[in-house]
Amino acid sequence: MQAAGHERPSFRRFRVEAISEERGDELDAIYGTAGGIDSALDAFRYVGAGDDEVSMRRAEVEGTRAGVMQPRADHIMFWVGGGSATIEDLHDGDGVEVLPGVPTFVSASRRYAFTADVRTVTMVHLSDRLLRRALVRSGHVPVGPVVLALQPGDEPTRRALREVIRADGARIMDEGFTGAARRELNAQIADAVVAAFPGVPQDVPVGRGSAARAVEWIRANADRPVTLQDIAAAVGVSERGLQNAMHRRYGESPMTRLRAERLDGARRELEGAEDGLLVADVARRWRWAHLGRFAAAYAERFGEHPSDTLQRSRRRDAP
């Protein structure tokens, strides 16, 4: 997370309207539906706003649809207004009927089959990094993909989640709500989500211990100020024990891994560059205080300078 004064706003608005079955390539990329949807749509309207950690979207649909969602960048919590829908996790076969007003959660790494004959769908998109941080705050260091249950575990947590969204939904979509206040709001929403939806146990390979947990924690917190003490405390081992575990498992130190994760994060941001993005903004966001050292380390890792990546991204997105 950047220091005050160096934050690059990531707020954006979404709007799609169509009188057809064609929703557009961007929505197919967002929802993992590029493989096609069986539908009989008469009209489709999609609006939303938020930043790259939390955004709210709403779709108004006339017609029916069915298909498969492939893995996608965001986790999505949604609820429907009227009508009926079903969703099935194709990894383990779990499925639910989606009832009006009941929040349902689809994890970013999973494939889902769905059918829907509903008129409105309200969605909250959450970044993977944001949810990992919330899980760490709740006392769980995720190892492997973050996967939460399709529906909430009990009524009290569902009610608490509903109250948070009702109270803060307008601020999520307010472009003027920025800085520390927005970060605090995003964290509050993520905390409510992980409290409401139970985690799904993952198959963890034998031998994955403190080093693997450290790598997951580093990945989730790479854009924050991080020390070796922070990593060791999060994993629950001594600093020396963590150093030894990382060298045995990965042949590198925790701080070397942190440096690599920051470079990888910077590259992802440069590859998805928006108008007005500067290399210096990205370097500061990923905790590189010296621009020249950032450029040299980037070139060593990726074989090109950060400005080259940025220029290629802009050429690709040019009309």
pLDDT of res. 142: 72
Q: Are 152 and 158 in contact (CB under 8 A)?
A: yes
Question: 58: which strand partners?
Answer: 47, 122
Domain end call among 196, 222, 253: 196
pLDDT of res. 316: 63
pLDDT of res. 137: 82
The whole-model pTM stands at 0.67
pLDDT of res. 199: 86
If you average pLDDT over residues 263-274, what whole number do you get?
Answer: 84
pLDDT digits (tens, 9 = 90+) for 119-156: 899 999 999 889 988 887 887 777 678 899 999 988 88
In a domain, 4, yes or no: no
pLDDT digits (tens, 9 = 90+) for 280-296: 999 999 999 999 999 99
pLDDT digits (tens, 9 = 90+) for 65-99: 888 888 988 999 999 988 889 999 998 888 999 98
Of residues 207 and 99, more confidently modeled = 99
Judge if 186 and 217 occupy the same domain.
no
Judge if 162 and 228 occupy the same domain.
no
Of residues 87 and 203, more confidently modeled = 87
pLDDT digits (tens, 9 = 90+) for 151-196: 998 888 888 999 999 998 889 999 888 888 898 999 999 999 999 9
Judge if 124 and 266 occupy the same domain.
no
Q: Are 308 and 273 in contact (CB under 8 A)?
A: no
Domain end call among 156, 174, 196: 196
pLDDT of res. 28: 63
Judge if 137 and 221 occupy the same domain.
no
Say which DSSP state 319 is in.
-
Give the Cα separation of 264 and 274 in Å (integer): 18
In a domain, 1, yes or no: no
Q: Are 181 and 97 in contact (CB under 8 A)?
A: no
Mean residue pLDDT across the chain: 83
Q: What is the CATH number of the domain that holds 181?
A: 2.60.120.10
Domain end call among 168, 196, 224: 196
pLDDT tier at 206 (50, 70, 90 boundaries)?
Answer: very low
Q: Are 80 and 41 in contact (CB under 8 A)?
A: no
Judge if 112 and 149 occupy the same domain.
yes
Determine what percent of the chain is predicted with pLDDT higher than 90. Answer: 34
Give the Cα separation of 18 and 92 in Å (integer): 35
pLDDT of res. 36: 54
If you average pLDDT over residues 41-53, what whole number do you get?
Answer: 80
pLDDT of res. 4: 35
Give the Cα separation of 319 and 73 in Å (integer): 24
Judge if 178 and 249 occupy the same domain.
no
- Alpha carbon 184 to its chain's center: 16
Judge if 184 and 75 occupy the same domain.
yes
Residue range of the domain that includes 307: 210-317
Give the number of residues written for the chain. 319
Of residues 102 and 21, more confidently modeled = 102
- Alpha carbon 281 to its chain's center: 21
Give the Cα separation of 265 and 221 in Å (integer): 11
pLDDT over threshold 60, residue 205: no
Judge if 249 and 300 occupy the same domain.
yes
Question: Which of 91, 92, 47, 40 shows the shortest CA–CA distance to 70?
Answer: 91
Judge if 130 and 53 occupy the same domain.
yes
Element (H, E) at 49: strand 37-50
Of residues 32 and 208, more confidently modeled = 32
In a domain, 233, yes or no: yes
In a domain, 205, yes or no: no
Judge if 142 and 229 occupy the same domain.
no
Q: How many domains does the chain have?
A: 2
